[in-house]
Amino acid sequence: MKVVTFGEIMIRLSAPDREKLFQSPYLRVIFGGGEANVAISLANFGHDVSFVTALPQNDIGDAVIAELRKMNVDTSKIIRQGKRVGIYFTETGANQRPSKVFYDRAHSSISEAKSGDFKWKEIFNGVDWFHVTGITPAISESAAELTFEALKTAKDMGVKISIDFNYRSKLWKYGKSAVEVMSEIVKYADIGIGNEEDCQKSLGIKANIDVKKGKLDEKIYEELTEKVMEIYPNLEKMAITMRESFSADYNGWSAVLRSKDRFIVGNKYEIKDIVDRIGGGDSFSAGLIHGLDKFRDDEKALNFAIAASCLKHSIPGDFNRVKESEVLNLMEGDASGRVQR
Amino acid sequence: MKVVTFGEIMIRLSAPDREKLFQSPYLRVIFGGGEANVAISLANFGHDVSFVTALPQNDIGDAVIAELRKMNVDTSKIIRQGKRVGIYFTETGANQRPSKVFYDRAHSSISEAKSGDFKWKEIFNGVDWFHVTGITPAISESAAELTFEALKTAKDMGVKISIDFNYRSKLWKYGKSAVEVMSEIVKYADIGIGNEEDCQKSLGIKANIDVKKGKLDEKIYEELTEKVMEIYPNLEKMAITMRESFSADYNGWSAVLRSKDRFIVGNKYEIKDIVDRIGGGDSFSAGLIHGLDKFRDDEKALNFAIAASCLKHSIPGDFNRVKESEVLNLMEGDASGRVQR
Amino acid sequence: MKVVTFGEIMIRLSAPDREKLFQSPYLRVIFGGGEANVAISLANFGHDVSFVTALPQNDIGDAVIAELRKMNVDTSKIIRQGKRVGIYFTETGANQRPSKVFYDRAHSSISEAKSGDFKWKEIFNGVDWFHVTGITPAISESAAELTFEALKTAKDMGVKISIDFNYRSKLWKYGKSAVEVMSEIVKYADIGIGNEEDCQKSLGIKANIDVKKGKLDEKIYEELTEKVMEIYPNLEKMAITMRESFSADYNGWSAVLRSKDRFIVGNKYEIKDIVDRIGGGDSFSAGLIHGLDKFRDDEKALNFAIAASCLKHSIPGDFNRVKESEVLNLMEGDASGRVQR
Amino acid sequence: MKVVTFGEIMIRLSAPDREKLFQSPYLRVIFGGGEANVAISLANFGHDVSFVTALPQNDIGDAVIAELRKMNVDTSKIIRQGKRVGIYFTETGANQRPSKVFYDRAHSSISEAKSGDFKWKEIFNGVDWFHVTGITPAISESAAELTFEALKTAKDMGVKISIDFNYRSKLWKYGKSAVEVMSEIVKYADIGIGNEEDCQKSLGIKANIDVKKGKLDEKIYEELTEKVMEIYPNLEKMAITMRESFSADYNGWSAVLRSKDRFIVGNKYEIKDIVDRIGGGDSFSAGLIHGLDKFRDDEKALNFAIAASCLKHSIPGDFNRVKESEVLNLMEGDASGRVQR
Amino acid sequence: MKVVTFGEIMIRLSAPDREKLFQSPYLRVIFGGGEANVAISLANFGHDVSFVTALPQNDIGDAVIAELRKMNVDTSKIIRQGKRVGIYFTETGANQRPSKVFYDRAHSSISEAKSGDFKWKEIFNGVDWFHVTGITPAISESAAELTFEALKTAKDMGVKISIDFNYRSKLWKYGKSAVEVMSEIVKYADIGIGNEEDCQKSLGIKANIDVKKGKLDEKIYEELTEKVMEIYPNLEKMAITMRESFSADYNGWSAVLRSKDRFIVGNKYEIKDIVDRIGGGDSFSAGLIHGLDKFRDDEKALNFAIAASCLKHSIPGDFNRVKESEVLNLMEGDASGRVQR
Amino acid sequence: MKVVTFGEIMIRLSAPDREKLFQSPYLRVIFGGGEANVAISLANFGHDVSFVTALPQNDIGDAVIAELRKMNVDTSKIIRQGKRVGIYFTETGANQRPSKVFYDRAHSSISEAKSGDFKWKEIFNGVDWFHVTGITPAISESAAELTFEALKTAKDMGVKISIDFNYRSKLWKYGKSAVEVMSEIVKYADIGIGNEEDCQKSLGIKANIDVKKGKLDEKIYEELTEKVMEIYPNLEKMAITMRESFSADYNGWSAVLRSKDRFIVGNKYEIKDIVDRIGGGDSFSAGLIHGLDKFRDDEKALNFAIAASCLKHSIPGDFNRVKESEVLNLMEGDASGRVQR
């Protein structure tokens, strides 16, 4: 498929070796951001993917583009303007100590890009699928406008649209609430993706789920997806990821997928020694998009997405560097982790 | 509170990445030592803490002081004399392979400091709490004398005293036994802290506990604390930590606290992926001191101490770098380790 | 004992920190190879061990020899000829993501060594034990011939012979099948060692075991060892390791040992946070050889071998760097991993 | 002396090993900024120094403060407000390849602090010396106002004032020119410090110097200092550093100092293997302030400043970590670099 | 311009920090190879460059391609076949200690590619310039044949051809001598490039130059270029680089360029603190190709090439990561290395 | 030759990347010590060398022995007793900033070994050469006695003896002066080695040399060697190294050698980018011993020694890891440092 994703890619600075930030004078520097992570994962699965964003015309912007190119993502639609690449700092927790993310992303090029800066008609020419998340509309009013602009054009041009609702409480500071904006955004989606918190905080839909307790109840997810699809009849399918947080490095991981006529609970994996869970949701989105395209079967698509994102938890960095064959291997049942010689 | 701790701070040289010592030619270099660890943790919780020790007048002594200053501990009472900073080497085990500590601490400045070198009256002026451990009296006869000197002055000046019994079998080489010295030392304590081994080896009190088996029996702890408090009626409270050692990186962690009229068993945490357990006991002491001061409630104090020291197990290095809010979060029940964005 | 092992030692290049290969521009460089690993482990247990191989006459060959010397292995029987040291790249998996090994070992000095290059009579002079594996006969036809040459000489000179069947599917490319060659090789063995896959793939013996499922059935191992010893009556003893692969970093680990008149199931360990499992089988072989020599008791020998190889899983690199006392400590029941101060 | 410096401290992210930025995924993370560098160097020389700035109330702000505390600088006058700590990225050149600095400092806490945020009277209470640079007035209009506010109060309270003219072409973006602002700022100075470019670009004074040619002509410096002191009769002394840039890692380093009645050319050092020259000018300012205070002799003060800053070029990071005794040793003529055992 | 280069790209494993190989257990892993280095440098200068080679169909081949893509080089003409990526190990010398390169490149995919494996007509479609070196014909007989095949097709299709004579004494092992093959190869060149040793050893032309003495005599270079161009009248231009090797990290660097009617001696740079000189000649070739295209002026082209390759000596790794603007800055006379803020 | 050296080997902990000690939390850990360095260098040159010392019976002592074994030095004469391995910390200077060494070596096993602990007759059985330095007699009275004991036995058994006078001002703390002891020690030497400071401080012989000035005057060395040999007629030869310290990383390096009838000034090298000069003198001693044995020609021996130690300055760590062929190459005139491919 020809795919476009639109959003922000940032510099990620990570404390090494489970240290607290600045505990020692070294940082790992990688790049990441929801929509870029989806783009890269889809490129790994063999799609022709273009990532659309704005980056400053300097050495740092060049470095971001080189990384995307390395990951086989088309960068020709990126516009070069503005002043900075957003940054986020991370420290990786363990056991009862949570991982932390600190954003320093205000005033990034994409947050200051304006309506008209992107040539959407050109961008969506010949494109099959467009993916966007709830993060971009949260960073600034103009970024929200750009998201609408993109969604409208894509819709008009018959591009399939998936939206990850992705609620970020520390963003949404420009005067509008998440619910206010996202409830309009989601009207463009063919495929909705989120976790239970995203559904509640982005769409204002209540569900009786306490995410801080480990075990999750599938029934509540059945009701929640039903509610979402009633309110947004434009949605063909709605997927919700189910993370059981036993500790910072031990999670249960599964998801559900509802279509008009079917509710499926996917495979579940125990991930007991999480390496890096940032980007986990993005790898699910990419897995689902690829799965739906490849299998034309909801159950397989869902299980592919869960397996793909399960594997992401074992790879450092935001990007899901696994190939389709590796995901298929797990999806078909081999979770033994035996050495491959 | 205004707090003083007295003891030794050493250079800690650690093999990286679960390697055996000298397996590769790199060492992590940090600083640590029981009483310094307590001082730093209390400073993190907002107290005004002074660490008292002796350090040589050279670049290495300067570096130790700079680190203490960084951790917000007052260093103005440290005397500069003697020849060396003690060193300990560590390698971090995993699974069935135990972690190892090798001491190279003989002849350190503090072990050779003499009675009269510290101006105790000045040091305890306006101080609320004094904490000391069973390690300092074990390193040399003069260090034991200094401990008595400090305890007497503190007691005379009405300072509250906590003592961590901390038994170290590789020390106690100067001719007196642990029991001989510690049974006198403990007479100065208002608050006693230890694990079951410390109570037995430092005080000569028998208890029927096999620490090499995982599961622990709370009843034995009830009896043990009772015995200790009978023998040392000066003790207002006696806390004992309960470590269930399932493997080098998987421990159960809890503690009990007895006061004159009450025996409390605290919360228990399963720590399945220990990052660094050195300093775990010290972070418990600091948590207990802070908890008793803050809550004026034994149960809360105990649970704060357990939660604080539980978190320490997930941080590299001796120091417990968590803030009060992080401990409260865990103590109030969120052990989910969910990413904080 | 005076021991000789014969085979290949390679450069091992490992991606750091659970990364995918080439994810970041650093590689750990160590050395390893089945028979060298056995040699080093036996040297650690106090034996007088010589490792026999061919290495090129250049700085890289020199570095390999220096490493063997460091590990206390005699290198005086190594011949210097040929063009390259074989290389293998590894990436360490986690959870459901398997570890991977990529070989770049074709055309190594030992794979191109020819019959007559080694002076076997001199090499086995005064030697008590000879160990070889199914890897060397798999790398090239000439290496298979050298293995036969060595085995014949050793047998003639009354040296005890152990063979690890070690099946490697990516080797065996020179025209003969594993079964064709190994079924002849094994006729020289006094002690056979393998896992269930080695028995099946190297010897063509069927057993009803699915190694991708976690739990293993001891009965099948009882039958399998029986079958092997019927077909190869030269075998005094046959040991099979039992690995339950729950995930890439969580395995159950045990083994069985059959002698003419007895079948023993050894202790079993849960290894929940595997550090590096490459070399695990080799450390079992070394433990068994040492155990049989030391205890003259099959049960103790087997349990020593399992405990030794259990500990190997917690040490980075191919080599089992533990001492006999550390193995005995575990074998005698202390798996608590408590810090040794 | 009791000293105050005021300005910005940033996170410095440096590419390792003379690499281009983002060439490999590691960054060294330290802290630095002109006025903080001066504060730290003066603290190293034994003064009682307070650094005044604004930092956000988060973990990153805490880390900056901990570092200042480690370097023995008082942080009690720092206000906690605003949103971010400024960042600068550096790559270290070599030979003909220049070092590069990329600023990402807009919207930092200090750049958005407002008049009235600092209690200047309290800050300068009992203070002997105040140091500020031309960087702070360049970052924002409000920061320029704060600088004037501070200078006025300090002047009124009889505090000695030194100003490093420090021209930064990439700043000065808020509508006023450097000359417009700095020509007013400098009227508060007792001691002026700069290089020839600073004098020209900050004050608009012409001098016939081509800084891209290696060799420098002292006469021009004699005239330039004369001109500056004519225009700014408030200046008691004017120092200009003389950097001969032969290559990125080979510089000549000296300075001149003019007082009302004397023009002195200081010692000159050839620095052939520069380790890190960022912070070089700041270490000169600190050396001059300390030298003037200690020696009450212009020539010695100047030579102390040159020697101090010469040594800075051999230390990684912004901070001049040398002690007074090390500077005196060089100043007294031992530039041999012989190992000190 | 549309450019094609053809040859080998290898894994380069470098000892860190001027250590001897395997002195410590870490290696830097990058990629490099003469023709790939030229491709990357030309891509940096803005050309549309395709690198043609063979790489195995495995994760290692994928990693090489990702790196080329990152450096903005087209990889669509690379064929995936064969068994291995060649490797070379380097250690970086200093002072009188030479740097060392150890090749482990036999049996690489490109060395075993055969005539017919590449579709040259398609590859050269629309291409302006083809660059090849004397390394590829040296690695195997089939690689030499492929080089001829490529050169013939390019010549037929009117593509401009540059050849770097690049003599490698450790290659040329397949039975033909360098002179035998290269004297035929060079007949296809429009632009010849080499150093004095390449001319002598590849073409068999004598010149009276002792490269181990520092200072070089331009006259000899005048005669040498004359001789080469007499023998190979197909050459429009002949460039020879002049390296004065004062030590491993101190070289003089210049070059000469002869065209039919003019002999030019270029600018000369003293490089006193070489960071990495591997790839220096390749960066000269790329600079010359770009310079000739851009300036249509031999002197400017030559000086651009020298400045570009001068800068390469200050960057770790094979690749010349500088931009055109950086080269122009040096070429126009600013070798001061002053910090660019 | 069969060679024995006797003395101390320590753990060397070095700050990385020209940092000050403890500037960042990493240390390189290697091993080193004068007499061990000589042993290793002689082993590199092909001799059969045994290093004699005392090391504690623990993992740290084991690691030291493994390193010696790796470097091909016999460790069978090392006795295992005492409590610690000595430590020294180093930071590497640059330009005008000197390198620093901090010793923490008191109470090491060798410093507390006693007369009778070594079986000297057995140790010197069949030995051709014995080397010792002025460091061992400086660390403790008992170590001085052991040195005398060793020297007497060696002399009695006809072993050739070389002594490096090596003055260390921070040692000699046990009550005797360097001159008092060393003037007796040197009476056992056949070959004396030192620098001008060693001669003066160890033997009390005056010479008019200011080592802090760069340029050195050979005449003074001629007189100094004459004086030494007059006072110690037992000396067959006396070598003095000549280090011109232009800066911490730029030295001139040469030496002189006097025999009964000849005074030779050796080759001189400019070393402009010193990597690590610790162990430089030891590598000279080893070079001289090897040179005298190999060439039986004073001039060649001296020039070999200078070339060997010149190369040491370009290698990190105490050990001179160069081979004889590399030294010969430099000695024969190739100081060009050209890449060896």
Write out pLDDT tens, residues D142-186.
999 999 999 999 999 999 999 999 999 999 999 999 999 999 999
Choose among C272, C311, C333: nearest Cβ to B97: C311
**What pLDDT does C207 receive?**
75
Query: Phi and psi (nearest 5°) for A260?
Result: -50, -40
List the single residue in F with minimal CA-CA distance to C59.
F323
List the single residue in A with minimal CA-CA distance to D20.
A59
pLDDT at C333 over 80: yes
**What pLDDT does C341 receive?**
81
Q: Compute CA distances D280 → D37, D275, D276, D311, E339, whole Å.
A: 9, 11, 8, 9, 12
List the single residue in F with minimal CA-CA distance to B27.
F27
Tell me the ipTM for this assembly: 0.94
Task: Kindly report the pTM of this predicted structure.
Answer: 0.96
Q: Answer yes or no: are the C-beta atoms of F74 and F50 closer than 8 Å.
A: yes
Q: Which residues of chain D neighbour E303 with C-beta distances below 8 Å? A: none
**What pLDDT does F208 receive?**
73
Q: Mean pLDDT, to the nearest integer, of F183-200? A: 96
CB pairs under 8 A between A and B: 93
Q: Compute CA distances F338 → D103, E98, E314, whole Å.
A: 39, 5, 17
Q: Could you tell me which chains touch chain E, where touching means 3 or more CB pairs under 8 A?
A: A, B, C, D, F
The backbone region for F333, taken as left when phi is positive above 0, alpha when psi lies in -120 to 50, beta otherwise, is left
Choose among A21, A27, A60: nearest Cβ to D59: A21
**What pLDDT does A83 receive?**
96
CB pairs under 8 A between A and D: 65
| Nearest chain D Cα distance for residue F339, angstroms | 19
* Bridging pattern class, strands F26-32 and F10-14: antiparallel
Specify burial of residue A323 (Cβ count, 10 A radius: 0-12, 13-18, 19+): middle
Segment D182-241, tens digit of pLDDT: 999 999 999 999 999 999 999 999 877 666 666 778 889 999 999 999 999 999 999 999
Segment C58-91, tens digit of pLDDT: 999 999 999 999 999 999 999 999 999 999 999 9
Q: Which residues of chain D neighbour B71 with C-beta distances below 8 Å? A: 66
Cβ distance of E336 and D212 shorter than 8 Å: yes
Cβ distance of D99 and E321 shorter than 8 Å: no
Residue D215 amino acid letter: K
CA E286 to chain centre: 8
Give the mean pLDDT of chain B. Answer: 95
| Nearest chain B Cα distance for residue F22, angstroms | 7
| Nearest chain F Cα distance for residue D262, angstroms | 29
**What pLDDT does C335 receive?**
85
Count Cβ neighbours within 10 Å for each residue of F130-158 and write b for 16 or more, e otherwise. bbbbbbbbbbbebbbbbbebbbebbbeee
**What pLDDT does A218 receive?**
87
Choose among B273, B322, B326: nearest Cβ to A95: B273
The widest CA-to-CA distance across chain C, in whole angstroms, is 56
**What pLDDT does C208 receive?**
73
Residue C340 per-residue DSSP state:
B
For C327, other C-beta atoms within 10 Å of its C-beta total: 28
**What pLDDT does E341 receive?**
82
Q: Compute CA distances B165 → B38, D216, D270, D296, whole Å.
A: 14, 68, 59, 56
| % of chain F beyond a pLDDT of 90 | 92
- Which of these, F274, F309, F255, lies nearest to F95 by C-alpha position? F274
Residue C206 per-residue DSSP state:
-
| Nearest chain A Cα distance for residue D62, angstroms | 10
**What pLDDT does B215 receive?**
72
pLDDT tier, C217 (very low <50, low <70, confident <90, very high otherwise): confident
Cβ distance of E29 and C29 shorter than 8 Å: no
Strand partners, A55: A80
pLDDT under 70 in chain E at which residues?
A: 209-214
Cβ distance of F70 and C70 shorter than 8 Å: yes
- Looking at chain D, list the stretches that DSSP marks H as alpha helix, in order from N- to C-terminal side: 34-44, 59-70, 120-123, 136-139, 141-156, 178-185, 196-203, 218-231, 280-295, 298-312, 324-331
pLDDT at A214 over 90: no
List the single residue in B with minimal CA-CA distance to F108.
B104
- Alpha carbon dihedral A93, A97, A99, A102, in 10-degree steps, equals -120
Q: Which residues of chain C neighbour B135 with C-beta distances below 8 Å? A: none
* Bridging pattern class, strands E269-271 and E26-32: unpaired
**What pLDDT does F335 receive?**
85
Q: Which residues of chain B neighbour E19 with C-beta distances below 8 Å? A: none
Cβ distance of E70 and A72 shorter than 8 Å: no
**What pLDDT does D39 receive?**
98
| Nearest chain F Cα distance for residue A24, angstroms | 7
**What pLDDT does D207 receive?**
76
Q: Which residues of chain F neighbour E249 with C-beta distances below 8 Å? A: 272-273, 337
Q: Which tokens is D331 given?
A: 């100043």
Q: Which residues of chain A neighbour E70 with C-beta distances below 8 Å? A: 66-67, 69-70
Specify burial of residue B299 (Cβ count, 10 A radius: 0-12, 13-18, 19+): middle
pLDDT at A168 over 70: yes
- Which of these, D340, E89, E317, E15, lies nearest to F315 by C-alpha position? E15
Token pair 């109840």 in the structure block, residue: A217
Query: Phi and psi (nearest 5°) for A274?
Result: -55, 130
| Nearest chain F Cα distance for residue C334, angstroms | 21
Q: How many helices (H) and strands (E) does chain C have?
A: 12, 15
Segment B124-179, tens digit of pLDDT: 999 999 999 999 999 999 999 999 999 999 999 999 999 999 999 999 999 999 99
Q: Which residues of chain D neighbour E340 with C-beta distances below 8 Å? A: 98-101
Q: Mean pLDDT, to the nearest integer, of A129-135? A: 98
For F129, other C-beta atoms within 10 Å of its C-beta total: 23
Choose among A98, A213, A247: nearest Cβ to B339: A98
All residues at 6 or more sequence positions from F179 whose CB lies less than 8 Å from its CB, including other chains: F201, F202, F203, F204
The kind and range of the H/E element at E271 are strand E269-271
Q: Which residues of chain A neighbour F24 with C-beta distances below 8 Å? A: 24-26
Residues in C lying within 8 Å of D, measured between beta carbons: 24-26
Q: Which residues of chain D neighbour F103 with C-beta distances below 8 Å? A: 341
Integer Cα distance of E271 and E91 in angstroms: 19
Choose among C269, C316, C330: nearest Cβ to B19: C316
Q: Mean pLDDT, to the nearest integer, of D121-135? A: 98
Segment A60-88, tens digit of pLDDT: 999 999 999 999 999 999 999 999 999 99
All residues at 6 or more sequence positions from E232 whose CB lies less than 8 Å from its CB, including other chains: E186, E187, E189, E192
Count Cβ neighbours within 10 Å for each residue of E156-190 and write b for 16 or more, e otherwise. eeebbbbbbbbbbeebbeeeeebbebbbebbebbb
* Bridging pattern class, strands D250-259 and D191-195: unpaired
CB pairs under 8 A between A and C: 93
Integer Cα distance of D340 and C132 in angstroms: 54
Q: Answer yes or no: are the C-beta atoms of C85 and C11 closer than 8 Å.
A: yes
pLDDT at A217 over 90: no
**What pLDDT does E331 receive?**
95
pLDDT tier, F341 (very low <50, low <70, confident <90, very high otherwise): confident
Q: Which residues of chain B neighbour F29 with C-beta distances below 8 Å? A: 13, 22, 25-27
Q: Which residues of chain A neighbour D106 with C-beta distances below 8 Å? A: 83-84, 107
Strand partners, D48: D2
Please, how many CA atoms are within 13 Å of residue D33, restricted to the half-sphere of its CB?
30
Q: Which tokens is B318 given?
A: 């001796």
- Which of these, E106, B255, B211, lies nearest to C334 by C-alpha position? B211
Integer Cα distance of D190 and D130 in angstroms: 10
Residue A269 amino acid letter: Y
Q: Could you tell me which chains touch chain B, where touching means 3 or more CB pairs under 8 A?
A: A, C, D, E, F
Token pair 């690199």 in the structure block, residue: C317
**What pLDDT does D133 receive?**
98
pLDDT tier, B218 (very low <50, low <70, confident <90, very high otherwise): confident
Q: Which residues of chain F neighbour B13 with C-beta distances below 8 Å? A: 13, 27, 29
* Bridging pattern class, strands E26-32 and E10-14: antiparallel
- Its sign, for the CA torsion D187, D189, D190, D192, is negative
| Nearest chain C Cα distance for residue A310, angstroms | 8
Residue D98 per-residue DSSP state:
P
All residues at 6 or more sequence positions from F312 whose CB lies less than 8 Å from its CB, including other chains: F41, F277, F279, F280, F283, F320, F322
All residues at 6 or more sequence positions from C218 whose CB lies less than 8 Å from its CB, including other chains: C242, C256, C265
List the single residue in D with minimal CA-CA distance to E252.
D95
**What pLDDT does E206 receive?**
82
**What pLDDT does E211 receive?**
62
Specify burial of residue A66 (Cβ count, 10 A radius: 0-12, 13-18, 19+): middle
Segment B87-131, tens digit of pLDDT: 999 999 999 999 999 999 999 999 999 999 999 999 999 999 999
Integer Cα distance of B282 and B268 in angstroms: 17
Query: Phi and psi (nearest 5°) for F30?
Result: -130, -175
